[in-house]
Structure 1
């Protein structure tokens, strides 16, 4: 949520942005954090905090394929 809070209300982030922010190294170790980041995103979706989108449209976890973005939930 911190990354989203640092951006405009209408902005979104790539899951890799969150993985890179959480990783404390200079190599590609952030890639190992991608699955935990995705799981965290879906927990935030369930809590009504964020939406996961593809091509700007919210998607359900079962439909989540291809490039995804995370944005604040539109209320």
Structure 2
């Protein structure tokens, strides 16, 4: 973890992901960069790995799922751009 990245950033990213999803339709998705931009402003690119990790923790807690091409995927197996959405029943 970079020196300027504290555990608080992880919590802020998790909260921002959920907040952004709450502001959208239940079927909508967000990109991890949306949360990184909202938390990191101009330094958002440095938060991309942390944002993906925050999404992974939310997946583990059963709050969201990761998708590619509209289909749920395992983040560990995902290559390339991903999307985050609320877990569907």
Task: Report the TM-score, using the length of structure 2 for normalisation.
Answer: 0.77
Match of 1:40 among 51, 54, 59: 54
Match of 2:37 among 20, 31, 48: 20
RMSD: 0.9
1:70 Cα deviation from its structure 2 partner: 0.2
Kindly report structure 1 stretches of 4+ aligned residues shifted beyond 3 Å. none
Task: Report the TM-score, using the length of structure 1 for normalisation.
Answer: 0.91
Instruction: Report matched runs for 1:1-75 at 5 Å.
Output: 1-23=18-40, 25=41, 27=42, 29-75=43-89
1:63 Cα deviation from its structure 2 partner: 1.2
Q: Distance in 2 between matches of 1:61 and 1:5?
A: 21
* Bigger helix fraction: 2
Runs of 5+ unmatched residues, structure 1? none
